[in-house]
Amino acid sequence: MKRLTIYLLFGAFILTSCTQYQKLLKSTDNNLKFNEAKAYFQNKDYNRASQLFEDVSGYYRHTDKDEDIMYMLAECYMHQKDYDSASDEFKAYIKSYPKGQYAEDSYYMIGYCAYLNSPDPRLDQTATYAAIDAFSNFVQTYPMSDKAKQAYTYLAQMKDKLAYKELLNARLYYNLGTYMGNNYLSSVIVANNALKKYPDTKYREDLMFIVLQAKYMEAEYSVPDLKDQRYRDVIDEYYNFINEYPKGKDAKTALAMFNQAQKYVKEK
């Protein structure tokens, strides 16, 4: 009976709360809506808060309440995981208040929204590029911010994701081998471009190794007139790789390719 009573009381409370909220939505008292929206926001009821802020945002545009409404509405969207809407609202805030009290946080949150929207490396990386642009803009604008260190961390993560996407592409070309052309060359080009764009990536070793692998396989499948020069390229590439990663996880495999390349060149 006690449990049933509790459920009934809770249900009555929810029903009453919903009824009061519906009346509030229909109210023409914008000041009441604004105050209630702030109360919902402080109580972390972001869904109700956002609806009320949306209702009164036009009425308070260019008033002393406008800045708070725009920022809290953006925060509501963030907590509801509507990162696109949150980003749009943070951008709108900066456009209206470039030196406002929430400007620093809004610049950061634009990057964070894009960061949270960044998908699996195999998918389109538009959001990843947006995060890089936004965080780069943030650290340039607020280099001494308490959030700058975290922004640099997110920047590195986003660049690593793009580097990993290129690594996957390089591996795809490598696996295609000589199917309908020289895909080993394409693998080398993709990996080398990634190394130029993201020299500090945590995937640097993997990218360098696939360049070596692809050059070795290219030499293996070359016509006789090209074999000698391509094996010499393998030898040069081995030294590039082993100088950076003498005890790397692929060092033994790299050595085996080097030995084969050297053997061919010496016999030649």
Predicted confidence (pLDDT) per residue in 213-247, tens digit = 999 999 999 998 999 999 999 999 999 999 999 99
15, pLDDT greater than 80 = no
199, pLDDT greater than 50 = yes
Closest CA to 79 of 47, 55, 52, 51: 47
Alpha-carbon distance values, 132 to 14, 54, 70, 153, 164 (Å): 44, 30, 24, 11, 15
- pLDDT value for 181: 85
Structure token pair of residue 221 = 């499948």
3, pLDDT greater than 80 = no
pLDDT band per the 50, 70, 90 thresholds, residue 17? low
Total structural domains within the chain: 1
**17 belongs to a structural domain:** no
**114 belongs to a structural domain:** no
More confident residue, 8 or 25: 25
Structure token pair of residue 75 = 């925060």
**187 belongs to a structural domain:** yes
CA 167, CA 174: separation in Å to the nearest integer? Answer: 10
Q: In which domain, by residue range, is 247 found?
A: 163-268
Per the CB < 8 A criterion, the answer to whether 249 and 216 are in contact is: no
**200 belongs to a structural domain:** yes
**223 belongs to a structural domain:** yes
Query: What confidence tens digit (pLDDT) does each residue in 133-186 have?
Result: 999 999 999 999 999 999 999 999 999 999 999 999 999 999 999 998 899 999
Residues 6+ apart with CB under 8 A from 198: 159, 160, 162, 163, 166, 204
**229 belongs to a structural domain:** yes
More confident residue, 17 or 130: 130
State the CATH number of the domain containing residue 207: 1.25.40.10
- pLDDT value for 75: 98
**39 belongs to a structural domain:** no
**73 belongs to a structural domain:** no
